[in-house]
Amino acid sequence: MDEQKPKSQWSVLFGAACLMATSSIGPGFLTQTTVFTQKLMASFGFVILFTIILDVVAQLNVWRIIGVSGKRGQDIANALLPGLGYIVAFLIVAGGLAFNIGNVAGAGMGFNVLFGIDVKLGAVISAAIAVIIFLVKEAGKVMDRFATAAGAIMILLTLYVAVTSHPPVGLAVAKTFAPDTIDFMAVITIVGGTVGGYITFSGGHRLIDAGITGEENLKQISVSSIMGVIVTGIMRVLLFLAALGVLYAGYTLDPQNPPASVFQQASGNIGYKIFGVVLWAAAVTSVVGAAYTSVSFMRSFSHWIDINYKHVIIGFIIFSTAIFCLVGQPVTVLIVVGTLNGLILPITLGVILCAAHNKKVVGTYRHPVWMTGLGGIVVLMTAYMGIMTVINNLPKLLS
C-alpha cells in the first residue's frame, strides 16, 4: 500500500497477522472443522495441535524470506528461475478467484441468516462493503483494522457458543495428546485450508506494502507470522469445542449445513443468528484477503496494475460477485481450480525453501537449517495432498 514506515509497527504487524488469520477463516473453515469434529470427536484435538505446528513451520519460512528479501512471492520465484513467478502467480490468482466466488456466496448466506434477504442481494451488499475498504485513501490501515475487528467478533461469539454447548473439555485435552485415532488426511486438509493457496502470502505481502522488511525487522516479522496461526488456532479450538459439546449432548448435525446446526443446537435461535454474524464476518474478510493477495501477485508484471492496484482489487471483487450472481457456483470451474489449489502450497513453499539459501534473494542472511528441514516435511505432506486431490477429482474432470 506504499505507506511510510509507521511509528509503531505493532499495529501493522498485528493487522497482517489478522489478515492472514481471517483469510483462512472462511465458509470452508467453518464446515471442515465441524465435519472433522463429527468424524473424529475429541480426537480431532490432536489434528488441531499437529496442524498448528505445521502451520507455524510454513508461515515462519515464507514470512521470513519475504521479509528479509523485501520481495513478493512471484518475484522470489522469478529470481530463482525466470518465468517461474508467472506460473506461481497464475496458480494463486486462479485459486483466489475460484474461492472468492465461494466466499462471496458465504457472505450472502450470512446476510440471509441475519435478515432473511435473498442470498444474491446479501452477496452484493457484502461485496460493496469490501469495495469501500479499498476506496479509502489509507486502505491498508482500514484493512488491518477491519480484519482485526472481524477476527475479535468471530472469536468472542464462538466462545459464547462453545461455553453454552458445555463441551467435555477434560476429554478433549486428554484426546489431544492421546487420540483414539490419527487421521492424517484430516491433518493435510486442515493445513491446506489454513496456509494453502494465497493465504500464507497475505500477511507477508501486507508487510512489504507497509515497508516492514529487512533483517532488522526479522524478529517482529516472525512473531507476527506466529500470531496469525495462533488467532486461527483459537478460532478452530473454540469451534471444535462448540461442536463437540453439541455432539456429546446427543444432537445430530444437519448434513446440509453442519456449522449452522452447531450454533443453533448450542444456543437456540440466538445461536443461529450468531452463526449468521460469524459466517458473514468469516466470508467477507476472506473476500478482502483473497482479492488483496491475488492482485498483489500481479503487481510485478504490469506497471499499470502496480499503480492502479486498488482499482484492480475492486474489479476482482466485483467480478467474483458477478460470477456468483449470474452463474451461481460453477461446479466444474471450482473442481478444476480446486485441484490446482491443492498443488499451490508445496510449490510455493518449495520455492521459498530454495530461495532461503540463494544469495540472489536473501543476500548474506543465513536461514536456520531446522526451519528448512521442517519446511521440507510440510512440502512432502502437502504434495501428497495435492496428488490425492488430482486423483480423486480426475474422474469428475473427465466425465
Binned at pLDDT 50, 70 and 90, residue 224 comes out as very high
User: pLDDT at residue 315 above 90?
Assistant: yes
What is the predicted pLDDT for the residue at 99? 82
Binned at pLDDT 50, 70 and 90, residue 2 comes out as very low
Query: DSSP of 74-136, one letter per residue?
Result: HHHHHHHSTTHHHHHHHHHHHHHHHHHHHHHHHHHHHHHHHH---HHHHHHHHHHHHHHHHHS
Domain boundaries, the chain: 10-96+139-267+345-398
The model's pLDDT over 172-215, given as tens digits with 9 standing for 90+, comes to 999 999 999 888 778 877 887 777 778 889 989 989 988 888 88
The model's pLDDT over 332-342, given as tens digits with 9 standing for 90+, comes to 544 455 555 66
Q: What is the mean pLDDT of residues 305-330?
A: 88
Query: DSSP of 282-348, one letter per residue?
Result: HHHHHHHHHHHHHHHTTGGG-HHHHHTHHHHHHHHHHHHHHHHHHH---HHHHHHHHHHHTTHHHHH
Dihedral (CA of 190, 194, 195, 197) sign: positive
> Residue 342 is which amino acid?
G
CA distance 102 to 119: 12
Q: Percentage of the chain surpassing pLDDT 90?
A: 52
User: pLDDT at residue 169 above 80?
Assistant: yes
| Winning range, highest mean pLDDT, from 97-106, 218-227, 381-390 | 218-227
| Nearest to 73, CA basis, from 220, 205, 214 | 205
User: pLDDT at residue 4 above 50?
Assistant: no
**Does residue 5 or residue 148 have the better pLDDT?**
148
Binned at pLDDT 50, 70 and 90, residue 330 comes out as very low
CA distance 128 to 185: 37
> In 10 A of CB 97, how many CB atoms?
18
Long-range contact set of residues 132-138: C-beta below 8 Å, sequence gap at least 24:
133/288, 134/310, 134/313, 134/314, 134/317, 135/310, 135/314, 138/1, 138/3
Mean pLDDT taken over the chain: 87
List the single range of 176-190, 237-251, 339-353, 361-375 with lowest mean pLDDT: 339-353
The model's pLDDT over 350-364, given as tens digits with 9 standing for 90+, comes to 999 999 999 988 888
Q: What is the mean pLDDT of residues 17-30?
A: 86
What is the predicted pLDDT for the residue at 354? 93
| Cell numbers given for 211 | 515497508
How far, in Å, are 112, 236, 252 from residue 247 at the CA level?
Answer: 26, 16, 7
The model's pLDDT over 131-160, given as tens digits with 9 standing for 90+, comes to 999 998 888 888 888 889 999 999 999 999
What is the predicted pLDDT for the residue at 345? 83
User: pLDDT at residue 50 above 50?
Assistant: yes
